[in-house]
Amino acid sequence: MPNPSLTRAGTAESARAVVLMLHGGTQRSHDAVTARSASWQRMLAMQRAISSTLAKEQTSTWLLRYAQRGWNDPSAPSPVPDARWALGRVREEIGDVPVVLLGHSMGARTAVRVANDPNVVGVVALAPWFSAGDPVVGLKGKSLYAAHGSTDRITSARETQRYISRAAGVAELSEFTDMGPVGHYMLRRVGAWNSFALRSTSSLLETHCRR
């Protein structure tokens, strides 16, 4: 089984912050994530669309590729250790800089599991795969922006709204954006998804830097 890997955009040496991007996956699969993975490719396209603007703000954009495609064991989800490894790499290479987790689908579910990392300032969740059992405690004192299409048949916009409501009890801010009649894979209204991701990550980092 291959190890997780990172695709970096922006100059790490001068970065004052990092956006760590987490791609989607599937419920069960121990198959390796390859460069042909549609979920990884979709986030790579988003990284290419937003990284140059973020680089002007001295923010480096890192895209994690998990070792395995699946969430797998609910008690020990496969992508969670990979995300913690990536956060460790940020500290090793750049230091204790603010990190925003930008996740799509399973990536958003992974993000809220690792949001308790001390460097994470918030989560941006795109068409997230949330469930009633997903914890909100890791968002204590942090912020969550979530966006979901109303015609998503893979994950549930209503479940996302329920999660947002639960998170409101512990998070500093939790906000839901309705992306309109679009599906799960962010292939329609691509510009709107990219704009939401860029606007939300920039807002989180700007808020943090003002403190």
Distance of CA 83 to the CA centre of its chain: 10
Please state, in angstroms and rounded to a whole number, the distance separating the CA atoms of residues 194 and 172.
24
Residue-level pLDDT at 79: 98
Residues 6+ away with beta carbon under 8 Å from 129: 24, 105, 106, 108, 109, 154, 155
Mean pLDDT of 147-158: 97
Residue-level pLDDT at 207: 76
pTM: 0.97
Residue-level pLDDT at 211: 53
Residue 121 has pLDDT above 60, yes or no: yes
What are the CA-CA distances from residue 37 to residues 43, 127, 190 (Å)?
10, 18, 19
Q: What is the pLDDT of residues 60-82, one digit of tens each?
A: 999 999 999 999 998 999 999 99
Q: What is the pLDDT of residues 193-204, one digit of tens each?
A: 999 999 999 999
How much of the chain, in percent, has pLDDT values that exceed 90?
A: 93
Let me know how long the chain is.
211
Biggest alpha carbon–alpha carbon distance for the chain: 43
Residue 210 has pLDDT above 60, yes or no: no
Tell me if the domain spanning 5-210 has CATH number 3.30.70.1400. no
Residue-level pLDDT at 38: 96
Residue-level pLDDT at 11: 75
Residue-level pLDDT at 103: 98
Residue 12 has pLDDT above 80, yes or no: no
